[in-house]
Amino acid sequence: MKVCIAEKPSVARDIAEVLGAKTRKDGYYEGNGFQVTWTFGHFCTLKEPHDYSPHWKYWSLSDLPIIPSQFGIKLIENNGVEKQFRVIESLIQQCEEVINCGDAGQEGELIQRWVLLKARCAAPVKRLWISSLTEEAIRNGFQSLKDAAQYDNLYAAGSARAIGDWLLGMNATRLFTKKFAQGKAVLSIGRVQTPTLAMIVARQKEINAFVSAEYWELKTIYKKVEFTAAIDRIVIVERAEKGLAYLKEHPFEITSFEKKEGKEGNPRLFDLTALQVEANKKYAYSADDTLRYIQSLYEKKLVTYPRVDTTYLSEDLHPKIAGILKDMTPYANLIAPLLEKPIPKLKSVFDDKKVTDHHAIIPTGMYPENLHLDEKRIYDLVARRFIAAFYPECKISNTTVLGKVGQVEFKATGKQILEPGWKEVYANDAPAARDGDKENDEPAEEGEKILPVFEVGESGPHEPRIHKGKTSPPKPYTEATLLRAMETAGKQVDNEEMRELLKDNGIGRPSTRANIIETLFRRKYIEKKKKNIFATQTGIDLIDTIENELLKSPELTGAWERKLRLMEKGEYAMEAFRQELTEMVIALIRDVKNNTGRSISFAPDKPAEKEKKEKDAAPPKPKAPKKAADPTAATCPKCKAHPVKKGNTAYGCANFAVCGFKVPFEAFGKKLSDKQLEDLLSKGKTGKIKGLVTPNGEKDGRLAFDDLFNLTIQTS
Domains of the chain: 2-144 (3.40.50.140), 162-199+476-593 (1.10.460.10), 216-266+394-469 (2.70.20.10), 272-388 (1.10.290.10), 619-714 (no CATH)
**In 99-253, which ranges are continuous DSSP H helix?**
106-118, 135-143, 152-180, 193-209, 237-248
User: Does residue 662 have a pLDDT over 90?
Assistant: no
CB contact set of 325 (below 8 Å; sequence gap of 6+): 335, 338, 339, 343, 365, 387, 390
CA distances from 334 to 141, 282, 326 (A): 32, 21, 11
Question: Using 50, 70 and 90 to split pLDDT, how confident is the model at 252?
Answer: very high
- Phi/psi region, residue 465 (left: phi>0; alpha: psi -120 to 50; beta: rest), is beta
Question: Using 50, 70 and 90 to split pLDDT, how confident is the model at 700?
Answer: confident
Question: Using 50, 70 and 90 to split pLDDT, how confident is the model at 708?
Answer: low
User: Does residue 184 have a pLDDT over 80?
Assistant: no
| pLDDT above 70 coverage of the chain, percent | 88
d(CA 283, CA 15): 34
The answer to whether the beta carbons of residues 253 and 457 sit under 8 Å apart is yes
pLDDT score at 174:
93
Instruction: Give residue-wise pLDDT tens across range 221-231.
Output: 999 999 999 99
SS (H, E, C) 565-585: HHHHCCCCCHHHHHHHHHHHH
Rounded to the nearest 5°, which phi and psi values hold at 306? -95, -20
User: Does residue 555 have a pLDDT over 90?
Assistant: no
| Residue 273: count of CB within 10 angstroms of its CB | 28
CB under 8 A, 24+ apart: contacts of 535-544: 535/197, 535/200, 535/201, 535/204, 539/197, 539/200, 539/201, 540/201, 540/204, 540/205, 541/600, 541/601, 541/602, 542/176, 542/187, 542/197, 543/194, 543/197, 543/198, 543/201, 544/201, 544/600, 544/601
pLDDT score at 671:
83
The answer to whether the beta carbons of residues 177 and 155 sit under 8 Å apart is no
User: Does residue 431 have a pLDDT over 80?
Assistant: no
d(CA 616, CA 75): 42
| Residue 150: count of CB within 10 angstroms of its CB | 11
Question: Using 50, 70 and 90 to split pLDDT, how confident is the model at 436?
Answer: very low
Buried b (16+ CB within 10 A) or exposed e, 56-74: beebebebbbbbbeeeebe
pLDDT score at 118:
95
Instruction: Give residue-wise pLDDT tens across range 312-332.
Output: 999 989 999 999 999 999 999
**Residues designated as active site:** 305
d(CA 201, CA 525): 10
The answer to whether the beta carbons of residues 197 and 516 sit under 8 Å apart is no
User: Does residue 281 have a pLDDT over 80?
Assistant: yes
Average pLDDT on 648-666 reads: 74
Average pLDDT on 567-595 reads: 87
User: Does residue 486 have a pLDDT over 70?
Assistant: yes
pLDDT score at 556:
76
Burial of 457 (0-12, 13-18, 19+ CB in 10 A): exposed
Kindly report the average pLDDT of the chain as a whole number.
86
- E strand or H helix at 542: helix 537-545
Instruction: Please report the sign of the dihedral spanned by the C-alpha atoms of residue 696, residue 700, residue 706, residue 712.
Output: positive
pLDDT score at 447:
46
Bridge partners for 571 per DSSP: none
Residue 608 or residue 191, greater confidence: 191
